[in-house]
Amino acid sequence: MTERKKRFRSLSIRLLMILTAAMLLALVVNILSILDYVDDEAEEVLDARLLLTAKNLLRQSERFVREGNLNEAWLTLETIRGLENTWLKEFAMMEGGLFGTEVDSPGNEEIRAYVWFASADGLVKIGQPMPGYGAGKGAGLQTLRYDSHEWRVAAVQNKTAEHFLYVAQRDDLRTYLVHEIGGKLLQKELLSIPVIVLVLWLGIRRGLRPLSRLNAQIARRKPGNLQPVSVENIPGEIAPLVESINRLLKRLQSSLESERSFTANAAHELRNPLAVVRNVARILTRTDSMEEVHVSGRILDKSAERMGELLSQLLHLARLDALTQADLQEPVVLRTLLEDVVAELVPEADAQGIQLAYSCSEEAVLQADRELMSLLVHNLLGNAIKYGHQHAEISVSRDDGALRLEVLDDGPGVSDSELPHLFERFYRGTVAKQQAQGNGLGLSIVKRIVELHGFRISAGRRTEGGLRVSLLIPEGSWAPA
């Protein structure tokens, strides 16, 4: 058995085993039902015959007794008993019976029938009574256990209830009928099983043919082919599977396109500072002027700073993309978090002449990742400082059951057409490209952090000018401090 076969069990064989087991169970139930029906029918027919025989013998025995011809009466009963005994023995010893062949020992022939004529008080007048059968049981049919066999006894009485005639018959014929019919049925069912299994196997293989075609279709694909799998002639049972595969392929294609775009944009962003470094290096190799050396050093320092910032944000994105959800184990006090970030950015705001305002009307504890939330607030407030003219503000307020964190600036803002793209990777608006350096990754990092926490974020233009970014923290993700 190959390693592949060890890992994957055949669906065809599994279905065949299940259906075969169900079929065998149905056959067994069917045979048992038929045997039970045959047993009931045989008992009904044989009981009717037994009663009819007893009634006929009662009439004959009474007539012989009235005529005083007891020998004739005895001979009649013994003849019937002998005939019953003989043909029951034939059934019991019949070859091919499923319950075996019985053999009587010489000189000790088994008795399989009893016939006797008795009075109402149980006194046997003619015939051989069945051992152990007591008097006074009345007319009708009874089943008794005697000599390791079941016996069926038919008792009939005359009109005056003065005389009774009994016919007792062992269960040989009943057993033969049930076993013989059951044996024939079993033989036929056993012979039909291979045919049924073959038909089931062919039907399963045919029914699973769409899966084979689907497997072949996917196996023939080239590694870069992420087009949807064809759903033509696909059975309804596997259509959800194919649709799930197509959705997965679509997400994978989108992810690969995003990765390719990300790589191209990252290469483009790195190309510019690297080109500056290369050009400055060439200048340094050809100049003897200390002034040019100092200028070149400042240029190299800015280029290195830009590349360092870009690489830092790329590493942040790589780390965030690898996460499936944020670490929510440690509670975060929002006021403390905001004060730390504001204190860190005050020198940068002062350097650019930006008045930084901060207000927090709600004391709240977040279920969030502190490091990621700090990065989120740092990027939002850093953008406000970078693009603001004179003011940048961060505030916290309650919005129904949610918590709203807003960052405002009085900068140039963005146009309505640019707002939907604001959180895309490497996207920078027209004004942003003209007024400040950057790489377009800050807000995309913010968006990814928001997604990991299950928050919501939006951006819009302020009527008085500038940009408003709103972070909505839903109820259940925070609690009053």
Q: Cα-Cα-Cα-Cα dihedral of 27, 31, 33, 38, to 10°?
A: 160
Instruction: Using the predicted structure, report yes or no on whether residue 104 has a pLDDT greater than 60.
Output: no
Give residue 9's pLDDT.
65
Q: Is the pLDDT at 470 greater than 90, yes or no?
A: yes
Q: What is the mean pLDDT of residues 38-50?
A: 85
CB 166 within 8 A of CB 116: yes
* pLDDT on residue 108: 44
Q: Going by DSSP bridges, is the β-strand pair 391-399/355-360 parallel, antiparallel, or unpaired? A: parallel
Q: Is the pLDDT of residue 212 over 80?
A: no
In tens, the pLDDT along 241-298 reads 788 888 888 878 777 776 776 666 666 556 666 766 777 677 767 776 777 777 777 7
Scan for tokens 């997965």, then name that residue: 248
pLDDT tops 70 at residue 431:
no
**Angle of helix 442-453 versus helix 290-322 axis, rounded to 10:** 20
Token output for 148: 């390791």
CA contacts within 13 A on the Cβ side of 325: 6
Domains annotated for the chain, with CATH where assigned, are 4-186 (no CATH), 242-322 (1.10.287.130), 331-480 (3.30.565.10)
pLDDT recorded at residue 107: 43
**pLDDT at residue 315 in the model:** 72
Chain centroid offset of residue 433 CA = 53
Per-residue pLDDT for 436 more than 90? no
- Report pLDDT for 136: 59
pLDDT at 1 over 70: no
The mean pLDDT value for 117-122 works out to 85
Q: What percent of the chain has pLDDT over 90?
A: 9
3-state class (DSSP) for residue 355: strand
Q: What pLDDT shows up at residue 96? A: 47
Instruction: Give the per-residue pLDDT at 185.
Output: 77
174, 199 in Cβ contact below 8 A?
no
More confident residue, 236 or 377: 377
Q: CA 58, CA 157: separation in Å to the nearest integer?
A: 8
Averaged pLDDT, 236-243: 78
Is the predicted pLDDT of residue 151 greater than 70, yes or no?
Answer: yes
Q: Residue 97 half-sphere exposure, CB side, CA atoms within 13 Å?
A: 19
Residue 400 tokens, joined: 């129904």
**Contact call for residues 419 and 429 (beta carbons, < 8 A):** no
Tokens representing residue 190 in the block: 């056993």
User: Quick one: average pLDDT of 372-383?
Assistant: 90
Q: Tell which wins on pLDDT, 157 or 309.
A: 157
The CA-to-CA distance between both ends of the chain, in Å, stands at 64
pLDDT of residue 480: 86
Least reliable range by pLDDT among 153-167, 302-316, 417-431: 302-316
Identify which of 124, 114, 112 has the alpha carbon closest to the alpha carbon of residue 164: 124
Nearest to 80 by CA among 104, 43, 53: 53
Is the pLDDT assigned to residue 99 strictly greater than 50?
no
Lowest mean pLDDT among 192-201, 422-431, 464-473: 422-431
Maximum mean pLDDT: which of 212-216, 272-276, 319-323, 356-360? 356-360
Mean pLDDT of the 18-44 span: 84
DSSP 421: G
| Residues, the chain | 481
The answer to whether residues 284 and 299 touch, using CB atoms and an 8 Å cutoff, is: no
Residue 336 CA to residue 359 CA, distance in Å, equals: 12
Q: Can you say how many angstroms the Cα of residue 154 is from the centroid of all Cα atoms in its chain? A: 61
Q: Which of 122-131, 305-314, 453-462 has the lowest mean pLDDT?
A: 305-314
Asked if pLDDT for residue 407 goes beyond 90, the answer is: yes
Note the pLDDT of residue 295.
Answer: 72
Neighbour tally for 284: CB within 10 Å: 13
Backbone torsions φ then ψ of 342, nearest 5 degrees: -60, -45
193 has a pLDDT exceeding 60: yes
Amino acid at position 165, single letter? L
Of 297 and 480, the structure prediction assigns the larger pLDDT to 480
Picking from 234, 278, 228, the residue whose alpha carbon sits closest to that of residue 248 is 228
Tell me what pLDDT residue 11 has: 76
Per DSSP, which regions of 296-444 are E strands? Answer: 331-333, 355-360, 364-367, 391-399, 402-409
pLDDT in tens, 331-368: 889 999 999 999 999 998 898 888 988 888 888 898 88
Mean pLDDT of 428-452: 75
CB-CB contact of 357 with 392 (8 Å): yes
